[in-house]
Structure 1
């Protein structure tokens, strides 16, 4: 027995005909279920006459009709003519009230009949939409979709359900995993648009301020987080159409760039402080993220990475860890962790998109490793599941070549190629950091063996850090080289720290004391070298170039100096405190830009006072003639602003010699009094 073919009525409203879905107007009258669900006008084209009933057309046979419409309503002719009359407000109510009685003439409740009809129509249309989406995904993955589409989509890997497409792929090659599908734009309602206008997202800073913010962004943020296609923005801005660019991404860029502009920029905009300007710009970026209807996941990813530099007690859920997690999730949804050309070259994606994807993925990776260290959180990215090729310096500078020379000169640093090389080294160094965290800081993982520790140490020590190029190197490039060196010494300290108290289980007992003393010496040396880098930054007057990641890099060395303040030797205690105070002075300078620096400094102040109750912070180094650093000093006027509420667990972890990483696990639960918002 043959299966009966499904038919659709030739009579359909304009919306259902355009969407190629079954229209219920022949049953419910005007409006149909679909238009009622979408809250749009149900328009049925007027015909010039009625012909006798014709056989129903098969679904999908015709998309449009030419000439008189042939009806198959299943209604008397008079009712059919009434159904074709233009829609009016009164007819909407009449059509809705009569639909139930027609659909279920014996039903005693018209409301129940209408509800059943609405549910049935909605479910039917939903099933058809889902089936159409599945068909489009399958066709694109198998290379059979010739439609113009622009939204990247990642089908997933085995054992995901789309892996069944491999069986249908020609020549026994896996189906494409990275495809393009149709975009579904979202139209903002008048209420949403008015709310965004009220929040100020459509009001850009003055043009001179935009120029300064863009220049600051590409000099101080882009070299270490190249998440934006520079050519698009700068071309639009040069033509005076920056407001036509994506406002979500624009406010996200402005928010981070506000850290590096001169004071006259934010005063010119009417802000009382830099932090007030940052708060306003972050609030607008977040408002656009939550309410702007953005559907481009690449833009959402870029914005989330930039908003990951926000740090304030006003919205604890939006700390850097939160936004970075959002960015990583979006990257994995897009499939940026996988190589789109792993099986064969994917012709769907242009080369510039591949370069941007590599940059975005490795920026996610970099933030994952660095925040895991500074916040004591688990790693989110498992490199065993990733095969995205490593980004290169060419990926960073590729889009700059498309910018006119005069524009590039105004916004882009001249030594961007050198800065791009430093960025690649930073990513590679964070790979080693991830190996350290995986080997040494997993509570339920196997205890590291001596050979594993030595092999990882050798790999880190062989890592090449370039030397400074003397006077030929710009101040900006010099700072980023120092920043790279600080990352390097932080990785070394992180490797050595847990073995001060816990030696490898396979280490012979007679060698334990000697081995641990050697490890302690190596850790002290790395902390001392980190201080030397900080001293170079201060001496060369490069501290204004500090990024939101600078303050956390000091913490590892500060922890080592703090532990040495417990030494039994008085001179060693004094020297260790002097080293610690150098870092504290730098933290003090960074407080104006970054809230995190205030938090770190407050934590260490309280820890020092636990060791020496009479200690008081000062803005200068202690008197070299002083023989007892526990005596009172000139109090720092902002001590009252050091607002972290330190509990015993945090102090115990901070003073514990076994792990600075464990300290940050406790620090994550810190409570703070209200402070100025910022990074």
Structure 2
């Protein structure tokens, strides 16, 4: 039984059922006990006048006091029709392709056409969860028109509605609760509380396993067989991507061998709903292919990808089974190489020098870019781990010394090229929350390369770092933590990064705060949901601290000033790392 929040008792309808007559407490509690055992004897007046007819009423197990409290919390407040339509558009465009479990036909008929097949066809809990998730991608003007002061204010308000409904067990169908919990994992905006996306995906997976969602029912198919399969793979991919962003092991362990068969294009419900087709255009089947490929890609994320229980081989500290770990990482790399080789050309990302003519093409382009970014992040993480375990591990050495084909540097370059393409098309805003961590890690690599001493490499790294900062600043309009991380990477206050020199950027890089994001600072005062857990990145930051101290000390010795020496940067047409419009095949990872 979930813990109920204590509230001061207020005047309510008593046994007379007349609003003007106060509760006849303590006798009125006898009525409450009867309702608790047998259910209310009336159909939730006046709440049935609040909810649209297409929404199901809350569970009959709720008491009147529970419902009163939900009204007080605003959990039964429904967005007006115009606002709800904008939210559902954002959901269809930017949430549904990532986790395509929702019955879009049912929601679209109710919200766009104001039609419904029967009374109470949509769960109140799931409806509020969709409103919360879709609002992430709604234009600010609609949020302001709805009375919200900011996007953060809107998301917090909408999320608290979903959470209140979940806490009070308003939904009896476990599959609907799982869907709602999956959407609740998009809540990341409160770093001071432990119930973030990682918490909600853990609860979601626990309920999914309890419900038997991970079991194969093909021999005795249930009526909701297709939904159960789609929902399981949506939960699986969401778990893997959250683990990738937070640098933590996934909740679903490798030993949990789900017998559910791999999805095929025929398994997916390619909707013919007119509003979905208006959003996706001719790209419906390709968006479905992106989800299928993302499932395959997420299967390359193993438990030990974020297992840092062993030291580099050359350290004098006893190692813990480095060889089996290396073998596992190499196997993951081979799987990743096979995935890239088999990726259909129709969904392979290519930078476009022109703007697609239709919004549907822009949406498709952004999803292709995101799939490529996920691949690059997994690829980079595997190589970071292999580098960390190698005998030649040297985090203080610039990666450019290994040449332009260094896997870790190449992945950071490719991510920056994707960001540049999306920035030019104003699509940065539509990247998911996990992209914030990816950009941060690419930015750290670029900062390290700015200290390489090679003016050509320094100039290219400066341009890439500037692109990462611009991307984080744009994402900050949706995800508050991105603004903060942009300042750590050197975003100057009161001026544009575009007009800054490399020296000015380096002077603003907050190495101390980056260091406090590492797990070595358990009680860090830095408020953000992101932590730098990977030893590879932590060692780079430690090296940057030393270099910054040496650089400042060298200047003090020369001119008595600690402002920092001038960073030599030169732009050359022969620069192998320069960001320019190139065929993406030139940067394909082998």
1:234-245 equivalence runs, <5 A: 234-237=108-111, 238-240=113-115, 245=122
Q: Return closer, same or farther for 1:436/1:461 CA change in 2, 3 Å cut-off.
A: farther
Is structure 2 residue 366 aligned with structure 1 residue 479?
yes
Q: Secondary structure at the match of 2:263?
A: coil
Is structure 2 residue 163 aligned with structure 1 residue 286?
yes
Q: Which has the larger radius of gyration?
A: 1
Instruction: Report the counterpart of residue 448 of structure 2 in structure 1.
Output: 563
- Asked if the contact 1:294/1:300 (under 8 Å) is kept, the reply is yes
Q: Return closer, same or farther for 1:354/1:491 CA change in 2, 3 Å cut-off.
A: same
Q: Distance in 1 between matches of 2:216 and 2:72?
A: 43
Q: Equivalent of 2:229, from 352, 355, 358?
A: 358
Is structure 2 residue 549 aligned with structure 1 residue 549?
no
Q: Residue by residue, what CA displacement relative to the aligned partner does 1:646-674 show, whole Å, maximum 9, x if unpaired? A: 6385699999995248999xxxxxxxxxx
Instruction: Report the counterpart of residue 578 of structure 1 in structure 2.
Output: 463
- Asked if the contact 2:100/2:234 (under 8 Å) is kept, the reply is yes
Q: Distance in 1 between matches of 2:122 and 2:540?
A: 43
Q: Distance in 1 between matches of 2:532 and 2:195?
A: 29
Q: Distance in 2 between matches of 1:274 and 1:198?
A: 22
Is structure 2 residue 295 aligned with structure 1 residue 427?
yes
Deviation at 1:332, TM superposition (A): 0.8
Extract unaligned runs of 5+ from structure 1: 1-34, 42-183, 508-512, 609-614, 665-679
Q: Equivalent of 2:105, from 215, 231, 239?
A: 231
- Asked if the contact 2:294/2:371 (under 8 Å) is kept, the reply is yes
Calculate the TM-score normalised by the size of structure 2: 0.67
Deviation at 1:267, TM superposition (A): 1.9
Q: Equivalent of 1:389, from 261, 266, 274?
A: 261
Task: Give the alignment's Cα RMSD to 1 decimal.
Answer: 4.0
- Asked if the contact 1:204/1:243 (under 8 Å) is kept, the reply is no
Instruction: Report the counterpart of residue 409 of structure 2 in structure 1.
Output: 524
- Asked if the contact 1:563/1:657 (under 8 Å) is kept, the reply is no
Q: Return closer, same or farther for 1:396/1:525 CA change in 2, 3 Å cut-off.
A: same
Q: Distance in 2 between matches of 1:38 and 1:631?
A: 66
Q: Return closer, same or farther for 1:385/1:518 CA change in 2, 3 Å cut-off.
A: farther
Matched length: 455
Q: Distance in 1 between matches of 2:448 and 2:147?
A: 45
Calculate the TM-score normalised by the size of structure 1: 0.59
Q: Return closer, same or farther for 1:264/1:649 CA change in 2, 3 Å cut-off.
A: closer
- Asked if the contact 1:599/1:644 (under 8 Å) is kept, the reply is no
Deviation at 1:394, TM superposition (A): 3.6
1:363-378 equivalence runs, <5 A: 363-378=234-249
Q: Equivalent of 1:197, from 71, 75, 78?
A: 71
Is structure 2 residue 142 aligned with structure 1 residue 257?
no
Extract unaligned runs of 5+ from structure 2: 1-31, 39-57, 311-318, 523-530, 542-590
Q: Secondary structure at the match of 1:659?
A: helix
1:211-222 equivalence runs, <5 A: 211-222=85-96
Q: Distance in 2 between matches of 1:224 and 1:572?
A: 36
Q: Secondary structure at the match of 1:388?
A: coil
Q: Return closer, same or farther for 1:313/1:569 CA change in 2, 3 Å cut-off.
A: same
Q: Distance in 2 between matches of 1:574 and 1:501?
A: 27
1 or 2 for the larger relative contact order (CA 8 Å, sep ≥6)? Answer: 2
Deviation at 1:556, TM superposition (A): 3.2
Instruction: Report the counterpart of residue 378 of structure 2 in structure 1.
Output: 491
Q: Return closer, same or farther for 1:468/1:486 CA change in 2, 3 Å cut-off.
A: closer
Q: Equivalent of 2:81, from 183, 188, 207?
A: 207
Deviation at 1:589, TM superposition (A): 0.8
